[in-house]
Structure 1
Amino acid sequence: MNPDQVFILLATYNRAHLVTETLQSIQNQTYKYWQCIIVDDFSSDDTPKVVQEFIADDPRFSFYIKTEPYAKGLSGSRNYGLDLAQQKGAKFIQFFDDDDVVHPLNLEVTLDAILKGDYDFCHFIRHAFKGDFNHNFNLNKCYESTELNENHLLKIISGEICFNSCQILWSLDAIGNERFNEKLHYAEEWEFFTRILTYPFRGISVDKVLYFARKHTESNTGEFWKGSDLRSSSNSLAIKLVIEHLFQNNLLSKKMERHFFQLSVFHKDESVLSSLLKRMKSKKDKIKYRFFYKIYPVMSFAHKRKKRIKARLKEIF
């Protein structure tokens, strides 16, 4: 494998206290022939200094401050990294976050799997952790694998097959000229990958944990679950963009419609419901979904009340 063809894209912002551990895990890869493009989004802490000092003696790393016309945020940083990798002749790319830890066998296992079948991507398992990371890696190279294709699209979109940006090695040919939507600040990867996967694809999924994601309240996901307006509005927009893209490609099946209806209820987002109803063909289903969306709060309250009453009766009797 040409060492100029395997690229890691690491977007970073204000991670001076965490990024060294991520860089060390990249440096510890058993497959040594890679390049890592680091894009800083105008950090206000010592991240640039910490990164530049760490990579000074390793030419496989390169450091960039994001430039125009890329927008502020993770999407802009990743787009800059993608364009740089493409200019440098990348054939395979993998996105990393600046607060995570990658398994030392990550590139070795994923490259072997993707090359054996000339696949568009290699998907693997990603585990989450909190606090300090326990470096007790499973170095067994044995694993089972499953092929993925367009028949798995619903499972990928619904999250039944977890498709996080940092758990996939991509052939850059599969990505082509697609780029992250820089208006999105949450669920941007989900919307991005949906666009790629609406075309016929062949992927391989290996049943091995090869990436470890740090969970904390300062992450984009942490901010979303804390109720950030920026993240919530981005999530809503991403869902509506995915609905529209699936519709335009004749992929908005009844099962897909049911999934997006459930999302509108879960997020209490009537704008998502409206976008879905606009693209549904069955008038009967439109009436049904609108009706259930309206009565769901009452049904949910009654269900919770019933559960409380049952629990109370158990305590008494």
Structure 2
Amino acid sequence: MTPLVSVIIPVFNREKLILETLESISAQSYEHWECLVIDDRSTDLTVNEIKKYLTKDNRVKVFIRPSNKPKGANACRNYGLELSNGTYINWFDSDDIMHPDKIRLQIEALESSNNPFCVCQSYIFKNDIKNVIGFQTDFITSKSPFDDFLTKKIVWLTQSPIFRKDFLIENDYLFDEDLQAGQDWEMFSRILFNNSNYIPIEKPLVYLRQHKNNTSRGKNEEQLWYYFLARYKIYVKFKDSLSFENIEYLKCYFLNSFKLLLRYKQYNKSYNVWKMALITDKTYTIKQHFYFILSMLSFVMFRKGDKFINKLERK
């Protein structure tokens, strides 16, 4: 029998974009799917637009995030997994577009193997999928997937993989609901640490939309904090098993996070980076920790302190 694929889409205030995403799913050459749209309690007409679409394709269903679950796309993704009936899971985003053959090609690859998931390449586009800017990443294939994903030598986002549902459930692979950015990197790093046998499809089967309201492909002060937090979680979870190169990569990331947050005047967050990841790092000397303190004091008091920050480098 043809396996059912559950496409799970968290959505918040996407009334002008969600229908184009749903159209791309309805146009799939693989027809045995369900699409669970989990609304994060939108304040615009998103839900009304989706309900109108249900009369066009009854494979699409809409649910509201329960009030006892935290706000955010990750809670919606996890809730969608709870509701799903599919053998396979494809999390997707509410502003992106599927290539018509995405599901078919990935399911064909998975059905002819024992691999737990399959990833594909992605395009970035602006305004219209005819206006492709380029690939989202150069590489999705590696001989050392965990190492290269952790250091971002290979990259894919939430939309790319299709997973066997039993693989996710049996290993308790869920999105971290504390993270508001960097959650895909954190989750896929956890997965690749133990399971590096995935199928790469080099053909771009996802179109990632670039626009001013995009939350996953831009950077701001709040996201920088969550990017740090995602990496700190991976460091704490796996530090006893990480290579020296990976540990050094993460420690350099922590230092750069401290500097960037301080320059963005995110003083509490930069202090928390120092307290969580830097103060206990024995590779820094007492003199360097003195510069950490001086840089924080200088930015708080005078809104500048680069002469102290610039003295903080890993040897």
| Segment drifting more, 165-174 vs 93-102 | 165-174
Matched, 1:167 2:163: no
TM-score, structure 2 length as denominator? Answer: 0.78
Unaligned 5+ residue runs, structure 2? 133-138, 262-269, 296-305
User: Which secondary structure does the structure 1 equivalent of 2:112 belong to?
Assistant: helix
For 1:185-212, what per-residue CA distance to the aligned partner results, in whole angstroms no more than 9, with x for missing partners? Answer: 1111222222222223411111110001
Q: How do 1:130-169 residues align onto structure 2 when only pairs under 5 Å count?
A: 130-134=126-130, 151-169=144-162
CA offset at residue 217 of structure 1? Answer: 2.1
CA offset at residue 232 of structure 1? Answer: 3.1
Which amino acid in 2 is paired with 1:33?
H
User: Which secondary structure does the structure 2 equivalent of 1:78 belong to?
Assistant: helix
C-alpha distance in 2 between matches for 1:207 and 1:178: 25
User: Which secondary structure does the structure 1 equivalent of 2:129 belong to?
Assistant: coil
Aligned residue in 1 for 2:87 = 91
For 1:150-176, what per-residue CA distance to the aligned partner results, in whole angstroms no more than 9, with x for missing partners? Answer: x32011112111121111111122322
Q: Check the 8 A contact 1:257/1:276 in 2, yes or no.
A: no
C-alpha distance in 1 between matches for 2:280 and 2:176: 22
Aligned residues: 280
Aligned residue in 2 for 1:113 = 109
User: Which secondary structure does the structure 2 equivalent of 1:196 belong to?
Assistant: helix
Percent of aligned pairs sharing the same letter: 25
User: Which secondary structure does the structure 2 equivalent of 1:185 belong to?
Assistant: coil
Matched, 1:205 2:195: no
TM-score, structure 1 length as denominator? Answer: 0.78
Q: Check the 8 A contact 1:42/1:66 in 2, yes or no.
A: yes
Q: Check the 8 A contact 2:121/2:156 in 1, yes or no.
A: no
Aligned residue in 1 for 2:46 = 47
- Structure with more helix by fraction: 1
Matched, 1:128 2:124: yes
Matched, 1:251 2:251: no
With over 3 angstroms needed to count, the CA separation of the structure-2 counterparts of 1:14 and 1:55, relative to structure 1, is: same
Unaligned 5+ residue runs, structure 1? 137-144, 303-317
Which amino acid in 2 is paired with 1:183?
D
Which amino acid in 1 is paired with 2:154?
I
Aligned residue in 1 for 2:28 = 29
Aligned residue in 1 for 2:135 = none
Q: Check the 8 A contact 2:119/2:162 in 1, yes or no.
A: yes
C-alpha distance in 2 between matches for 1:279 and 1:170: 38
CA offset at residue 253 of structure 1? Answer: 1.5
Q: Check the 8 A contact 1:70/1:76 in 2, yes or no.
A: yes
Which amino acid in 1 is paired with 2:48?
K
Aligned residue in 2 for 1:180 = 175
With over 3 angstroms needed to count, the CA separation of the structure-2 counterparts of 1:117 and 1:53, relative to structure 1, is: same
Aligned residue in 1 for 2:72 = 73
C-alpha distance in 2 between matches for 1:188 and 1:130: 24
